[in-house]
């Protein structure tokens, strides 16, 4: 075949398919997809669907390094039952979850059952629910476009949320559904759930795989492997067994403790008890305050900054040290930047932090979307001195902590106060890298007496060391226990040299 013929054929292929879709209305294209799945009537008359299987999910930013190619930390969900009530458009998912990487809290490796009720957009990551939502009487169908092999239909739910459904032009089956959601660290995210490996289940064709990806670093955040479906099954009661949570609900108060001369600890007091308590260290300089960590969320960070700004008349927080890139620890980064604060962190975090603050969030405007500011960033390599006539704070790189390889901690030499995130947490059950704390202070020849953590409570240096020791012992026992029943866990054997 000559080149001209090939060019003519590819021209026809590229142009015939869009022409087909243009001759059909959005409603007709969706109805055709319903036919391909088993018939419009059948699709509209399914009352319930129970999907079972297993999945892996990605906690965003959980890799040891902020580098886009850094190995990712996955969480596994087994024994999943996802029960859809297609009339109320709700789903109940129950599963047993475990982390596939060494985690410091026992619940992460317990495989305890937990459940959640999903509703609204969060149930539309399945072709049956997405099609039903697109066909609902209060849904408005919008623009038709083409993306690769798929015809894309925009649709807006009665509640106002806009989604997109991609329909494969060749087999007419739904290829994916897409929606937008908020993200504390990335402003907002566009999610696309891909439906693959369709197979007949009774009279309806359903996918065996559902992969959800986001528009950030081409990350796949959920890989769902279906191992069975039941149509029109009797549904369980939609009651939840909540797992352990890091979300404490509303902030009630910020507890202020003066730890040393010109050094304070701030702790968030929240509605519900959580796995760990969170806070920040504050250090007074001649004309400003330095904060250690903008933790968790916009609400957390604003509460901490407001409390700090009331400590010393005329002095405001202008700088914040971000210990490492993990998305809980950088959860207030966008907020801090929106307030004009300078960010101090390991040099390797700068590229990721620029990604975070440069993302627009027009659908879910946060503080930064409402008040866009440039990132002011001071990089730390091994050591950075922050000093004026009144105060000195040293910012150092964390040594030998495989939980977070591009991390910093801060030290107030005059007061022997160390401020850190995730080097040690008193509430942890297990420490997998217990050497890092002492390695870090020995490396830089420091002599701390007080520890201000991001998670936990202010502790003496002796308490820190004793607790690390018992957490390492507990981690080793956990490894031994698992090995005795034939399971070998990630993180075992525990690396620790200071027995
Ligand atoms: Zn972390």
Cα(292) to centroid(ligand 1), Å: 14
pLDDT class of 10 with cuts at 50, 70, 90? very low
Cα(221) to centroid(ligand 1), Å: 18
pLDDT above 70 covers a percentage of the chain that reads 94
pLDDT at 15 over 60: no
Cα(340) to centroid(ligand 1), Å: 25
Across 338-353, average pLDDT: 98
Across 487-499, average pLDDT: 93
pLDDT class of 110 with cuts at 50, 70, 90? very high
Across 347-352, average pLDDT: 98
Q: Given the DSSP bridges, would you call strands 376-380 and 342-346 parallel, antiparallel or unpaired? A: parallel
Peptide bond into 493 cis (omega under 30): yes
pLDDT at 7 over 70: no
Structure tokens at 366: 């946060």
Q: Which pLDDT belongs to residue 20?
A: 54
Report whether 304 contacts 266 (CB < 8 A): yes
Question: Which segments of 89-173 are extended strands (E)?
Answer: 90-99, 113-119, 140-147, 150-156, 162-168
Burial classification of residue 481, based on how many CB atoms lie within 10 Å of its CB (0-12 exposed, 13-18 middle, 19 or more buried): exposed
446's CB contacts (< 8 A; 6+ apart) are 396, 411, 413, 418, 440
Choose among 457, 344, 326, 437: nearest CA to 394. Answer: 344
Cα(280) to centroid(ligand 1), Å: 15
Choose among 258, 353, 337: nearest CA to 305. Answer: 337
pLDDT at 449 over 90: yes
87's CB contacts (< 8 A; 6+ apart) are 47
Cα(380) to centroid(ligand 1), Å: 18
369-422 per-position pLDDT tens digit: 999 999 999 999 999 999 999 999 999 999 999 999 999 999 999 999 999 999
99 sits in the region (left: phi over 0; alpha: psi -120 to 50; else beta) called: beta
Q: Which pLDDT belongs to residue 9?
A: 46
Cα(208) to centroid(ligand 1), Å: 34
324's CB contacts (< 8 A; 6+ apart) are 330, 345, 346, 349, 398, 404, 406, 407, 408, 421, 422
Q: Which residue has the higher pLDDT, 18 or 233?
A: 233
Cα(349) to centroid(ligand 1), Å: 13
Cα(323) to centroid(ligand 1), Å: 9
20-78 per-position pLDDT tens digit: 555 899 999 999 999 999 999 999 999 999 999 999 999 888 899 999 999 999 999 99
* Cα dihedral across residues 411, 412, 417, 420: positive or negative: negative
Cα(403) to centroid(ligand 1), Å: 6
- Centroid of chain to Cα 217: 13
| CA 280/CA 267 separation, integer angstroms | 7
Q: Which pLDDT belongs to residue 242?
A: 65
pLDDT at 469 over 80: yes
Cα(326) to centroid(ligand 1), Å: 5
Across 157-177, average pLDDT: 97
DSSP label at residue 308: H
Cross-strand bridge partners of residue 113: 96
Cα(329) to centroid(ligand 1), Å: 7
Choose among 355, 347, 287: nearest CA to 318. Answer: 287
Q: Which pLDDT belongs to residue 277?
A: 87
Q: Which pLDDT belongs to residue 1?
A: 43
Across 449-463, average pLDDT: 97
Cα(430) to centroid(ligand 1), Å: 14
Task: Show the domains of the chain with their CATH numbers.
Answer: 20-231 (2.50.20), 251-484 (3.60.15.10)
**Average model confidence (pLDDT) across the chain:** 94
189-208 per-position pLDDT tens digit: 999 999 999 999 999 999 99
Cα(422) to centroid(ligand 1), Å: 5
Cα(496) to centroid(ligand 1), Å: 19
């Amino acid at each position: 075949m000559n080149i001209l013929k090939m060019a003519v054929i590819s021209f026809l292929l590229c142009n015939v398919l869009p022409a087909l879709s243009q001759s059909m209305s959005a409603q007709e294209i969706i109805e055709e997809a319903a036919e391909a799945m088993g018939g419009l009537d059948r699709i509209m008359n399914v009352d319930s669907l129970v999907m079972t299987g297993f999945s892996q999910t990605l906690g965003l930013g959980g890799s040891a390094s902020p580098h886009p190619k850094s190995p990712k930390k996955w969480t596994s969900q087994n024994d999943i039952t996802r029960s859809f009530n297609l009339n109320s458009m709700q789903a109940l998912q129950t599963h047993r979850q475990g982390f596939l990487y060494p985690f410091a809290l026992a619940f992460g490796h317990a495989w305890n059952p937990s459940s959640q009720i999903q509703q609204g957009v969060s149930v539309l990551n399945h072709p049956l629910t997405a099609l039903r939502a697109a066909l609902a009487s209060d849904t408005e169908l919008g623009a038709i476009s083409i993306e690769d092999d798929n015809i894309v239909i925009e649709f807006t739910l009665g509640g106002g949320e806009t989604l997109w459904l991609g329909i494969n032009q060749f087999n007419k089956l739904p290829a994916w559904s897409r929606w937008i959601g908020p993200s504390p660290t990335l402003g907002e995210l566009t999610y696309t759930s891909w439906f693959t490996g369709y197979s007949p289940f009774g009279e309806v064709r359903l996918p065996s795989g559902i992969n959800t990806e986001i528009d950030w670093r081409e990350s796949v955040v959920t890989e769902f492997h279906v191992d069975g479906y039941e149509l029109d099954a009797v549904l369980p009661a939609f009651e939840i067994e909540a797992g352990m949570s890091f979300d404490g609900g509303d902030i009630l108060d910020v507890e202020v403790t003066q730890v040393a001369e010109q050094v304070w600890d701030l702790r968030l007091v929240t509605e519900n008890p959580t796995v760990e308590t969170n806070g920040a260290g504050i250090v007074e300089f001649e004309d400003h305050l330095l904060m250690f960590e903008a933790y968790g969320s916009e609400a957390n960070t604003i509460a901490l900054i407001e409390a700090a700004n009331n400590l010393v008349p005329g002095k405001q927080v202008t700088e914040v040290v971000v210990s490492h890139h993990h998305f809980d620890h950088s959860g207030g980064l966008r907020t801090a930047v929106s307030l004009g604060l300078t960010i101090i962190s390991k040099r390797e975090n700068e590229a990721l932090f620029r990604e975070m603050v440069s993302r627009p969030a027009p659908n879910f405007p946060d503080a930064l979307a409402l008040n866009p500011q440039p990132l002011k960033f001071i990089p730390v390599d091994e050591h950075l001195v922050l000093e004026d006539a009144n105060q000195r704070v040293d910012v150092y790189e964390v040594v030998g902590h495989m939980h977070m390889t591009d991390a910093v901690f801060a030290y107030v030499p005059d007061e022997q106060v160390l401020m850190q995130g995730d080097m040690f947490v008193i509430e942890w059950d297990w420490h997998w890298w217990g050497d890092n704390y002492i390695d870090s202070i020995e490396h830089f020849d420091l002599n701390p007496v007080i520890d201000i953590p991001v998670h936990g409570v202010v502790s003496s240096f002796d308490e820190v060391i004793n607790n690390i020791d018992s957490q390492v012992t507990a981690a080793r026992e956990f490894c031994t226990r698992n090995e005795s029943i034939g399971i070998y866990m990630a993180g075992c054997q525990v690396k620790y040299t200071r027995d």
